[in-house]
Structure 1
């Protein structure tokens, strides 16, 4: 085992984690946690001149307090630049979290989620910088990236300017639980959105004069289910998943105003995921065809149909690294040196790694003890967190 793997101050690492868990920073509101991370890095010896923010918040299409936090650590030995990444934000359910230790876990008070996703990653990257500097460990040039708005669409990683990464050749993303798990690929996602404009009429006096947008939507979703496009999707030319997430009216309100009025407007939003972009698009088009068929079936007494607009756009691209790729080999070697048994995974959820890979930096994702994420039962497994710290340090210091 590399001697640097034993240099982690576990108590200090846990202190960093507890501190970060207590700082609120739900998605889009990362300024406070970014300041806490920046302060911790400076106290660890990182000069303020090495810490900067980019301007992705000016490009993200929804309000975002700050840009991505980027830290440049000069190498103490030659070698290609490494990138370590994590995200600053938590899901809204973490607002007001009150972390407390319970045995070998950190838990919340049971009224909120905890925020281990991804305060564990924030703590590990700070511990990594702190340990490298404290022990003067040899390492190549390293960039640390703390992204914003991961939880609400991977926006920080998506809008990132790759030039800000300093030419990093590979990335280790910290965003998971079991340190034995190594995520080497993930599905891509396509979002679809349909607006249906029907025609209102009195539902008791003259229902035949109306065009029910609600009915068009319901028939369309039933048709999509019949054709095998809903839920788990398996076709001869691909596989994936889909979901209908929102069925409502204007401005987030209910579809319709009263039971005695034929509903004249419905907005429906959904997603399609697949290991290939082409099949994610095929799923979205399957829904589009279903909505078109439903539109043709629902008419008023004069044969008039609803007006419908259906759009679909990529949300993030899929990726899948070969086990022989340099970053997977580096991670495998480090995990084996720590006595871990690499379990190569392909994720059905999107990660910052999807966009980092798209930006030209092959990325694997490692675990750091976060468990039951996005629920009030969330906790951090502290032994797994400590192992994640050791793994990150070893990944930064092993010889190429």
Structure 2
């Protein structure tokens, strides 16, 4: 039922629109036009006022066919923004995949999901497939800390449950668990002095911070928990004892208690190092989004597995180490799992989108709509 050439052409059209995260206006306007032309109701929310991004999230409603009004409301979500370098993308079909010219990303993360949604809507309408109410949520700012979903105008989303079309791995992969994340920002204080004349009068913030980090458990903490120091900056010249260091870090875990324990461990390491060197630290942490986990016998997972089998794919149940809009939406009380859409080498200039996976993603959306 999928019109492959139409789907490929629409995907190419979408990725050619510049939409690096924070600059989503052009793609948002195009999507509003496309979904509206298909007869769907499109509302742009007010999140732009708080995110500072170029557009708001789009909440799109596909009204039910006659006799299907009492069915549960399902939804699908993808994000419209991309990472850098994502300007002036020149996509091309190379063999059985779509690629960029190698100077930019392709943008299949996550315009593959959006293209699949649009094709699925067309097929459902063309084939007059009965369906309940379906919503589509297209977010901004996913690539900059899930900002769009975190500031979503939640009352626009009326769904009972749904699916994020935003995971790597082939169509068939079902992400049933993903971690919560804490962002950590630390300022380690020191005392400046001349490094050659009177270094003993100074306190090196670099030395204090390094001592703290050396006492931390980092990397893979256990099968459910990770932690990382991502950025360390400070100092101005080699002849000055550094008086301030700024550190950016994170911790993740599938279990909230483990996350909090790891954050406390990192805080304690900084505080003990500061005490040892008679200085101080400012430690701040923030939970960015909650974890989620579903068992294999959860109705949402069962529906996804059945849909995979219907389109000829073998379902594979997986956990993820990364966060997505699915984390945030689960936190709003809307059961959501993340599904593989088959894009490859995302966030690199070698990114590619196999055409067969693009087609299967559209087939999957149709199958899930039919199930409802």
Fold-level similarity (TM above 0.5): yes
The answer as to 2:303 corresponding to 1:324 is no
Contact 2:341/2:357 (CA < 8 Å) preserved in 1? Answer: yes
Q: CA RMSD in A?
A: 1.4
Alignment of 1:182-201 (within 5 A): 182-201=174-193
| Match in the other structure for 2:95 | 103
Q: Any gaps of 5 or more consecutive residues in structure 2?
A: none
**1:149 partnered with 2:141:** yes
**Alignment partner for residue 373 of structure 1, among 332, 346, 349?**
346
Runs of 4+ aligned structure 1 residues displaced above 4 Å come to none
| Cα contact 1:368–1:389 (8 A) shared by 2 | no
- In structure 1, distance between residues paired with 2:221 and 2:132: 44
Match of 1:383 in 2: 356
Report the CA distance between 1:95 and its aligned residue: 2.9
Aligned residue for 2:231, secondary structure, equals strand
Equivalent pairs counted in the alignment come to 368
Aligned to 2:39: 46
2-structure distance, mates of 1:214, 1:314? 27
1:71-220 alignment, distance < 5 Å = 71-76=60-65, 77-78=68-69, 79-166=71-158, 168-176=159-167, 177-220=169-212
Quote the Cα distance in structure 1 between the aligned partners of 2:89 and 2:212. 41
What is the CA-CA distance between 1:333 and the residue it aligns to?
1.0
For residue 315 of structure 1, give the secondary structure of its aligned residue in structure 2: strand
Query: For structure 1, which runs of at least 5 residues remain unmatched after alignment?
Result: 1-6, 249-254, 299-304
Separation (CA, whole Å) in 2 of partners of 1:10 and 1:68 = 28
What is the distance in 1 between the residues matched to 2:44 and 2:163? 20
- Report if the CA contact (8 A) 1:369-1:382 is conserved: no
Is the partner of 2:85 in helix, strand or coil? Answer: helix
1:11 maps to 2:5: yes
The secondary structure found in structure 2 opposite 1:370 is: coil
TM-score by length of 1: 0.89
- Aligned 8 A contact 2:108 2:352 in 1: yes
Match of 1:287 in 2: 266
Q: Partners in 1 of 2:201 and 2:269 — Cα distance?
A: 24
Per-residue CA distance 1:347-385 (angstroms, 9 max, x = gap): 100011101111111112222221101111111011011
Q: State the TM-score, normalized to the length of structure 2.
A: 0.96
* C-alpha separation in 1, matches of 2:176 and 2:215: 35
Distance 2:324 2:10 in 1: 24
Q: In 2, Cα distance between the equivalents of 1:273 and 1:134?
A: 44
8 Å contact from structure 2 (residues 89, 106) kept in 1: yes
Task: Verify: 1:22 aligned to 2:22, yes or no.
Answer: no
